[in-house]
Structure 1
């Protein structure tokens, strides 16, 4: 397929090499790997493939820049982040187009991610100068207690493919605001957006070595040695629970500070008193954003038995009317899944549910032709222990099961090893308060299908991870507390 000239020019202008010490450079030996358009399966770029030596060079640069960046006044760090926000806003269409090309989401959603991702730069530019300590007298009256903070030090960030801009800014912005330097290893499926962000950060005035970016086709080759480097002080990872567990084991050897944003299996709970129009709109938003490839995506639909039939029927009608196609085409509601493996994994879950007795109201199959498209799907009569209920789907599939009362809804919702997000639709405020206390998740959306916001703490409980990103809590992940004891 021949790309439009403007798109081809954008790809030509986008960095495809490593960012190390403020300079763009080839990988060791000139190694590269291909980046594909999931709408066609065709190669759109060849990107530098970092080696262990390249990772070490990035760590050298981050360590060399750490003291000077930590000593930079917070106002100056804030102004750099604010300039980065302005440049992201200015280059929004280019960034959105890159995301759609390498990840697949419709252009309208990519534009939304640019706005969301940019907000982390603006939010933490405002938080940089608001880090406080405290002063008090010890209860015994024998000491004055002074606490202050300092940056944790060089950080390693490993980001996923599903939100290639926002997952990078959500980590980089608080780290830079706190005075930490960074080595970023973006996902091999979607490195172009991260590299474009690297150029923006340079243009915004980020000093050499403060942000280093090392895409690679072999994550373990690069990150393994870095996790053992005594100069590294912080690891932040967004991805699967399985990989997160392995990284935690490695990080333990170096006693690293860690932030882990891992898997989700969000229950979407609809009570009999819910506004069904609002619940259906929220279901579409919570399920189909990013083609369902989001850790906060509604994964299990738990609907009160009195309204389940109507809810399922109307949801299927809505899904059946959506347009599936390349993200760059106008009128596209759903783009492709990110890879053939991802599409095939989704179909295996749907097939297992069907074989287990579930009924397919709409969809249930891949789209014929090039690219990795899957039809938006609604399943009913799904057993609570069906693989499509137990596993994170990461695709446009809505499995529906029913409950009789609040206690059963809570039991079903909490019947998971992970606990990132939940969605609740009800008109009962008392129920909302009860459920916010009983649901084993880190975030609850009440009568809304969209919960992510740069000003809010993002994170989960159980096997969904450790720590929080965003909000006033986000910068704390990159600060050490120092206690100074003074005699009275």
Structure 2
């Protein structure tokens, strides 16, 4: 492993900080400490764990301005979005602080008078997490909070591009009184740390947010030790605008979904499917709204669209745009760049493409950038077929004022998260996760603590004298 990671500001290319990288031996030692701490932390009563989680949330809120600034500097997203993410991150801690005291068992009627059956829940063990760069606060707390609430210990490998936010939050957890070995971080390359996590018999669960190919590799690596896994993987979200949609609402919500974090989110709209009778009107209104978005450094409070995280991400987005144009797509706005490869910053102005079809890469692959491709459909059945024609099934959106159309779309779209007239459906109290190759398990809601618990039952016999 290399000795350090250079954390740079993607808006300027400037070095923010060099972060030390743990050796394999140090990571093994951290795993051992987490495993040993589990024996103690799992016995801490649920009310005390709840109290400590609430204290952690309070510490984060006390320092949210500083955390948001760090996040914007290493991630690039506008400062207002970073502040929003800090609140989103603490909402998971707050939710699971309450769920900690609601881990219930039950009794089951036995088949004979002489027996009684009791079902109990217990924490699964040491949990290892690998988190993404695009939401360095919320994606960590969405995993750590239910793990700690359940009585598990937790170790996370932060994203290489954005480790500082995660590190800060975990240090605040320690300040709040959560034992240092109960929640830890390590830094390093995913390709090197991942196998250390999957191969360790001391780790009983892997939770990952990131690309589908990496998720598949972690699932395979976890098989030898039969680890539990939760995988929140790639997406390719469709947004359907039905014939009776409210276009003003559809435009405003599509902007929110598509261009948040410069389009670099797993639930961003990737494909806009508009009824053929509305496509010209929608495209005109949407393009006018996009024209108002300002590109720049996220620390500038007027910025709406920050930089692309790195050169690799930039090149992928540009390749998708060029492929679409070569195959007949039309640029309505955007396709402009501010780039300095030597300094290391990459900006793409928000782009809208019309006359897009299924032959284009952008309709088949997740973009992870501020590009909105528009295509058309004739019937709702055709829209559903286009939307479902992907191996992914994370998020989908639709706009209609007809409840029958809405329920029909809900019933037939193969996606784990669906927004009806809503471009921002994510919430700590709702189960987040995908279908098909978009993942395994759910995070958030009452479902989100289940993957951190084992179920056992006790059959008591000879109760009748």
Short-chain TM bin: over 0.9
Please give the alpha-carbon distance, in whole angstroms, between the structure 1 residues aligned to 2:163 and 2:76.
Answer: 13
Q: Is the 8 A contact 1:347 1:366 kept in 2?
A: no
CA positional deviation for 1:316:
1.4
In the alignment, what sits opposite 2:134?
162
In the alignment, what sits opposite 1:395?
369
Task: From 445, 449, 468, give the equivalent of 2:442.
Answer: 468
Tell me: CA distance 1:308–1:481, structure 2 relative to 1, closer, same or farther (3 Å).
Answer: same
Task: From 18, 21, 33, give the equivalent of 1:61.
Answer: 33
Tell me: CA distance 1:179–1:318, structure 2 relative to 1, closer, same or farther (3 Å).
Answer: same
In the alignment, what sits opposite 2:292?
321
CA positional deviation for 1:139:
4.8
In the alignment, what sits opposite 1:270?
241
Are residues 1:354 and 2:328 paired? no
In the alignment, what sits opposite 2:20?
48
Please give the alpha-carbon distance, in whole angstroms, between the structure 1 residues aligned to 2:82 and 2:364.
Answer: 29
Q: Is the 8 A contact 1:265 1:416 kept in 2?
A: yes
CA positional deviation for 1:310:
1.1
In the alignment, what sits opposite 1:486?
460
CA positional deviation for 1:368:
4.5
Correspondence 1:426-465 to 2 at 5 A = 426-465=400-439
Are residues 1:291 and 2:262 paired? yes
Please give the alpha-carbon distance, in whole angstroms, between the structure 1 residues aligned to 2:154 and 2:175.
Answer: 17
Q: Is the 8 A contact 1:266 1:298 kept in 2?
A: yes
Q: What TM-score does the superposition give when structure 2 sets the normalisation length? A: 0.97
Q: Is the 8 A contact 1:267 1:423 kept in 2?
A: yes
In the alignment, what sits opposite 2:165?
193
CA positional deviation for 1:220:
2.5
1:390-428 deviations in whole A, cap 9, x for unaligned?
100000000010000110011011000000011010001
* SS of residue matched to 1:67: helix
- Equivalent pairs counted in the alignment come to 459
Tell me: CA distance 1:137–1:161, structure 2 relative to 1, closer, same or farther (3 Å).
Answer: same
Correspondence 1:76-95 to 2 at 5 A = 76-95=48-67
Q: Is the 8 A contact 1:77 1:128 kept in 2?
A: yes
In the alignment, what sits opposite 1:99?
71
Please give the alpha-carbon distance, in whole angstroms, between the structure 1 residues aligned to 2:3 and 2:311.
Answer: 24
1:40-64 deviations in whole A, cap 9, x for unaligned?
1121100011221121011011011
* SS of residue matched to 1:267: strand
Q: Is the 8 A contact 1:65 1:208 kept in 2?
A: no
1:181-206 deviations in whole A, cap 9, x for unaligned?
01100100000001101111001101
CA positional deviation for 1:141:
6.0
* SS of residue matched to 2:281: helix
Please give the alpha-carbon distance, in whole angstroms, between the structure 1 residues aligned to 2:38 and 2:418.
Answer: 37
| Aligned-pair Cα RMSD in Å | 1.3
CA positional deviation for 1:228:
1.3
Further displaced range: 326-335 or 427-436: 427-436
Q: What TM-score does the superposition give when structure 1 sets the normalisation length? A: 0.92
Q: Is the 8 A contact 1:155 1:183 kept in 2?
A: yes
Correspondence 1:90-129 to 2 at 5 A = 90-129=62-101
Are residues 1:246 and 2:239 paired? no
CA positional deviation for 1:140:
6.2
In the alignment, what sits opposite 1:38?
10
1:281-321 deviations in whole A, cap 9, x for unaligned?
01000101111100000011011001011111221121122
Q: Is the 8 A contact 1:261 1:464 kept in 2?
A: yes
Task: From 371, 385, 388, give the equivalent of 1:411.
Answer: 385
Please give the alpha-carbon distance, in whole angstroms, between the structure 2 residues aligned to 1:476 and 1:84.
Answer: 22
CA positional deviation for 1:366:
1.8
Further displaced range: 267-276 or 383-392: 383-392
CA positional deviation for 1:466:
0.2
In the alignment, what sits opposite 2:314?
343
CA positional deviation for 1:431:
1.5
Q: Is the 8 A contact 1:127 1:472 kept in 2?
A: yes
Please give the alpha-carbon distance, in whole angstroms, between the structure 2 residues aligned to 1:83 and 1:330.
Answer: 30
Q: Is the 8 A contact 1:186 1:213 kept in 2?
A: yes
Q: Is the 8 A contact 2:431 2:447 kept in 1?
A: yes
In the alignment, what sits opposite 2:199?
228
Task: From 331, 354, 379, give the equivalent of 1:380.
Answer: 354
In the alignment, what sits opposite 2:451?
477
Please give the alpha-carbon distance, in whole angstroms, between the structure 2 residues aligned to 1:310 and 1:207.
Answer: 57
Please give the alpha-carbon distance, in whole angstroms, between the structure 2 residues aligned to 1:200 and 1:346.
Answer: 36
Q: Is the 8 A contact 2:236 2:393 kept in 1?
A: yes
